[in-house]
Amino acid sequence: MSNESAKKSDLSITSLAESLVKAHFLDGVNKRITDKLFPVPDRIGNDYMVYGFRGSFLFEEVIRQIRAEGHEPANSHELALWRDWDRSGIVVALGSIVYIDEEHEGYTYGKTDKGAVCYVFNQYIHDVPHALMLISEHDDAARNDQYLSITSLREPLTDYCRFLAVRKPSGL
């Protein structure tokens, strides 16, 4: 069995969430992260690179820049197999983008004869792109929690994020 086949079979034995918790000793995982949402991909690379960018940018710009440098954004399972996380900040895997409906609470203000009024409403947004991210958070009690979440890519990303990538296999 090839090294890549062995990795794929190892990941199919346990769930993606379980693999990530075990690999990164996480304190928690977003309950929406399932094997159905993030199935085992065709490609699993192991030559990693972490990118960081200054400013704010759309995820498509990040993907273009990573590809221009000869890499591909890491997918969900490459994130699970990556062992070099320094357990700080945010690391995003843009290679497994999923589309999820979101519900947001919105506000609008108006004026009546009795004064100002704030109206609250729910807004449903369909097919919003999301990606997996590892997060390390420090609180005031010097506690450091690491967890896996899904981040919406609807808004621009900031330089708080780093992006995991893998070297493009030859032929891509």
Return left, alpha or beta for 18; rule: phi > 0 is left, psi -120 to 50 is alpha, else beta.
alpha
Round to the nearest angstrom and report the end-to-end CA distance of the chain.
23
Is 156 contained in some domain? yes
Tokens of 54: 């200054």
pTM: 0.72
Residue pLDDT, tens place only, 52-109: 988 898 999 999 999 999 999 999 889 888 888 887 888 999 998 988 877 655 555 6
Is 89 contained in some domain? yes
Is 161 contained in some domain? yes
Q: What is the DSSP letter of 109?
A: E
Is 113 contained in some domain? no
Is 66 contained in some domain? yes
Is 114 contained in some domain? no
Task: Give residue 93's domain range.
Answer: 3-98+129-167
Q: How many domains does the chain have?
A: 1
Is 16 contained in some domain? yes
